[in-house]
Structure 1
């Protein structure tokens, strides 16, 4: 995993801390489109993906899903993310997409706030299978307008009282931030990108 220079944040007491933005990919892994997105959010970032940086060049989402499910799985991806984070000596902001968002959610109840500042998780549909998590750091969940396999509004209703958790629902579909997805939405992509960049996450 490459170590890139991290931005330095000066705290009120005059001390300086390094902050690294870690972008956690979906089932497509590290693609040129994902690298473009990561660069637009923050020049100083690290990408964590399920395939150790290899561009798998999946032709369709179903191909990517089948490969990820058969060869990796969410549990292993979550462990890989934890291992990647423990190698960092800086504070961390997390941005995750789909299974990447679910991996962040899975570890959020066990990795303390001393290491992670905050996280934003886009369309982490697998979060529905781990609803009892109580994050130890601030997490923003961004859900799509609808999902095929469950009620988004019901999940939001169940999670809305979870501590340190903010929830937004947007009028786009699962995958709207990924140019490789059939659900990519340019308006939603640009809107969320502006929000991410403005928050220097």
Structure 2
């Protein structure tokens, strides 16, 4: 049975994540979700409220540590790891550690806090997908730097940070559908990151 790990954004176990899980439901696939709130369902009124809760409950350093611990628990191959926003940044940091050797490929959506870690090297093929702009980094420069690393593809979209999460004010249904198809193809073995 294939294993899939999803590392959530600051919204955690919200309706949008539940929808993604339902949309990714594939036979012969075991899905595990890691979020900053230890699996407790969340319902924030906006991103500011979600970010405040995230910084109070977890924060970037602790989240990266949780992801590292989770990856180290895998004894069998992890077919795909997917991260969103803060979760994508935490996953990127964790992929550079020895305990991540079981990850076969990863997709990171808009890891806005990746700037200090652009030189990290991962053992797995990784596709980093940024929004059109990020408040904390130059997307074009980040894509160029990341694309120099072995096994890393980095690109940006016309959509903005948060385009995969209906709880975000920048959510885009067409973007969600486009990248959902990519994720399904990866899970079904129809595509493989270079």
Aligned residue in 2 for 1:108: 95
Aligned residue in 1 for 2:40: 54
Report if aligned partners of 2:113, 2:136 keep a CA contact under 8 Å in 1: no
Corresponding residue to 1:144 among 131, 136, 147: 131
Aligned residue in 1 for 2:58: 72
TM-score by length of 2: 0.88
CA RMSD, 1 decimal: 1.6
Report if aligned partners of 1:25, 1:50 keep a CA contact under 8 Å in 2: yes
Corresponding residue to 1:168 among 135, 155, 177: 155
Question: Which one has a bigger Cα radius of gyration?
Answer: 1
1:86 is the counterpart of 2:69: no
Q: How far did 1:176 drift?
A: 0.2
- For structure 1, which runs of at least 5 residues remain unmatched after alignment? 1-6, 8-18
Residue pairs, 1:1-201, within 5 angstroms = 7=1, 19-43=2-26, 44-92=30-78, 93-111=80-98, 114-200=101-187
Report if aligned partners of 2:147, 2:153 keep a CA contact under 8 Å in 1: yes
Q: How many residues align?
A: 184
Deviation >6 Å, runs of 4+ = none
Report if aligned partners of 1:29, 1:49 keep a CA contact under 8 Å in 2: yes
TM-score by length of 1: 0.86
Report if aligned partners of 1:120, 1:142 keep a CA contact under 8 Å in 2: yes
